[in-house]
Amino acid sequence: MNVMQQATTSPIEIRTPKMPAMEGRAVSVFYGQKQALYDVSLAIERNQVTSLIGPSGCGKSTFLRCLNRMNDTIDICRVTGEIRLDDEDIYNRDIDVVELRARVGMVFQKPNPFPKSIYENVAYGPRIHGLTRSKIELDEIVTSSLRRAGLFDEVKDRLNEPGTGLSGGQQQRLCIARAIATRPEVLLMDEPCSALDPIATAVIEELIDELRENFTIVIVTHSMQQAARVSQKTAFFHLGKLIEEGHTSDLFTNPKNKQTQDYITGRIG
Amino acid sequence: MATALNEHIVTSYEDELINLNKAISEMGGMVEQAITDAANALLKLDHKAAQDVRQYDKLIDGMKDRITEMAVSIIARRQPIAVDLRMVVTAIQVANDLERTGDMAKQLAKRTLQIESLALAPKFYNGVKHMTDLVARQLKSALDAYASRDAAKAVDVCAHDDEVDLMHTSLFRELLTYMMEDPRNISQCIHLLFCTKSLERVGDHATNIAEAAFYLETGRQLGQDETQRQQL
User: What's B114's domain CATH number?
Assistant: 1.20.58.220
Amino acid at A120: E
Amino acid at A5: Q
φ, ψ for residue A26, nearest 5 deg = 50, 50
Of B53, B52, B91, nearest in space to B71 by CA: B91
* Candidates A254, A260, A264, A268, partner chain B, best to mutate (most B CBs within 10 A): A254
Q: What integer pLDDT is reported at residue A9 of this predicted model?
A: 43
Instruction: Quote the distance between the C-alpha of residue A61 and its chain's center.
Output: 11
Total domains present in chain B? 1
Residue A32 lies in a domain: yes
B-chain residues near A236 (CB < 8 A)? none
Could A253 and B219 be called an inter-chain contact, meaning their C-beta atoms sit closer than 8 Å? yes
Burial of B180 (0-12, 13-18, 19+ CB in 10 A): exposed
Of A121, A81, A88, A117, nearest in space to A103 by CA: A88
CA gyration radius, chain B: 19
A-chain residues near B18 (CB < 8 A)? none
Q: What integer pLDDT is reported at residue B1 of this predicted model?
A: 46
Could A267 and B8 be called an inter-chain contact, meaning their C-beta atoms sit closer than 8 Å? yes
Q: How far apart are CA A246 and CA A53, in angstroms?
A: 12
SS3 state at B164: helix
Q: What integer pLDDT is reported at residue B150 of this predicted model?
A: 96
Is A134 in CB contact (< 8 Å) with chain B? no
Position B115 pLDDT exceeds 60: yes
Closest CB to B6 among A254, A255, A269: A269
Crossing angle of the two packed helices B186-218 and B161-181, in degrees rounded to 10: 180
Amino acid at B182: D
Position B6 pLDDT exceeds 90: no
What is the interface pTM, i.e. ipTM, of the complex?
0.75
Q: Which residue in A has a C-alpha nearest to residue B14's C-alpha?
A: A267
Could A264 and B3 be called an inter-chain contact, meaning their C-beta atoms sit closer than 8 Å? no
Domain with B150 in it: 2-231
- Stated as kind and residue range, the H or E segment containing B72 is helix B47-78
Could B10 and A266 be called an inter-chain contact, meaning their C-beta atoms sit closer than 8 Å? yes
Q: How far apart are CA B26 and CA B20, in angstroms?
A: 10
Could B86 and A253 be called an inter-chain contact, meaning their C-beta atoms sit closer than 8 Å? yes
Residue A172 lies in a domain: no
Confidence of residue A8 (pLDDT cuts 50, 70, 90): very low
Q: How far apart are CA B34 and CA B50, in angstroms?
A: 10
Confidence of residue A14 (pLDDT cuts 50, 70, 90): very low
Instruction: Quote the distance between the C-alpha of residue A256 and its chain's center.
Output: 26
Residue B105 gets which letter from DSSP?
Answer: H
Mean pLDDT across B101-118:
90
Q: How many CB atoms lie within 10 A of CB A268?
A: 9
B134 and B167 Cβ atoms separated by less than 8 Å: yes
Give chain B's contact residues with A (Cβ, < 8 Å).
Answer: 3, 5-10, 13, 79-86, 218-220
Render pLDDT for A53-65 as a digit per residue (tens, 0 to 9): 999 999 999 999 9
A101 and A125 Cβ atoms separated by less than 8 Å: no
Domain with A80 in it: 19-111+185-264
Position A175 pLDDT exceeds 90: yes
Closest CB to A228 among B7, B81, B83: B81
Instruction: Quote the distance between the C-alpha of residue A63 and its chain's center.
Output: 11
A48 and A212 Cβ atoms separated by less than 8 Å: yes
Instruction: Quote the distance between the C-alpha of residue B149 and its chain's center.
Output: 17
CA gyration radius, chain A: 19
Q: How far apart are CA A59 and CA A48, in angstroms?
A: 21
pTM for the full predicted model: 0.82
Burial of B139 (0-12, 13-18, 19+ CB in 10 A): buried
Closest CB to B82 among A225, A265, A269: A265
A-chain residues near B86 (CB < 8 A)? 253-254
Instruction: Quote the distance between the C-alpha of residue A142 and its chain's center.
Output: 20
Closest CA–CA distance from residue A257 to any residue of chain B (Å)? 11
Q: What integer pLDDT is reported at residue A160 of this predicted model?
A: 95
φ, ψ for residue A82, nearest 5 deg = -130, 145
Q: Which domain CATH number covers A221?
A: 3.40.50.300
Residue A151 lies in a domain: no
* Candidates B14, B75, B83, partner chain A, best to mutate (most A CBs within 10 A): B83
Could B82 and A268 be called an inter-chain contact, meaning their C-beta atoms sit closer than 8 Å? no
Residue B6 gets which letter from DSSP?
Answer: P
Residue B3 gets which letter from DSSP?
Answer: P
SS3 state at A217: strand
Q: How far apart are CA A92 and CA B171, in angstroms?
A: 79
Total domains present in chain A? 1
Position B53 pLDDT exceeds 90: yes
